[in-house]
Amino acid sequence: MNIKGIQFEPEFTFKTSRSGGAGGQNVNKVSTKVELDFDVIKSQLLSEEQKAVILEKLSHKITKDGILQVVSQTERNQLGNKEIVIKKFYEWMNNCFIVKKKRRPTKPSRSSKEKRLTSKKRDADIKKLRKKDW
């Protein structure tokens, strides 16, 4: 399930608003904050199993209506924030479908056990030498 070749731009909805925080007059009068909305449930580009994976893995970023929201307000202009939002979206999509390797449990080797025990013994001997007999 690879998502890299799909172009999602036709299904994007952009909203702009004024950014919060410091920035002087530019923040107060220019709408530079950009919010990208992508309707995962109604998307025609994704299969049902891809939708299920996205809804599961990005559940904390998806609204109850099934809309994935990506927000950026770091840049001083709208175009810069729009580019950041699109880049974030594609990163999230690609990270959803990375399959993690299953961990194989292993046991410590004989030599590592011996090293651990000898170092414990050495440390205990050093501490013994520090004690004074009154």
Name the range with the highest mean pLDDT among 32-36, 71-75, 123-127. Answer: 123-127
Distance CA 1, CA 111 (A): 43
102 found inside a domain: no
Answer positive or negative: Cα dihedral of 104, 91, 63, 10: negative
Q: Which residues neighbour 61 within 8 Å (Cβ) at sequence distance 6 or greater?
A: 68, 69, 70, 92
Residue-wise pLDDT for 1-45, tens only, equals 446 666 778 888 888 888 776 667 776 778 888 999 999 988 888
pLDDT at 3: 60
CATH number, domain containing residue 91: 3.30.160.20
pLDDT at 87: 92
- Which among 57, 77, 76 has a CA at the least distance from the CA of 68? 57
Report the amino acid identity of residue 44: Q
- The fraction of the chain above a pLDDT of 90, given in percent, is 39
115 found inside a domain: no
55 found inside a domain: yes
Total domain count for the chain?
Answer: 1
44 found inside a domain: yes
pLDDT value at 109 more than 80: yes
β-strand pairing of 67-72 with 12-17: unpaired
120 confidence band (pLDDT: 50, 70, 90): very high
**Range of the structural domain that residue 75 is part of:** 9-96
Other Cβ atoms closer than 10 A to 62:
19
Average pLDDT on 99-106 reads 90
86 found inside a domain: yes
3 found inside a domain: no
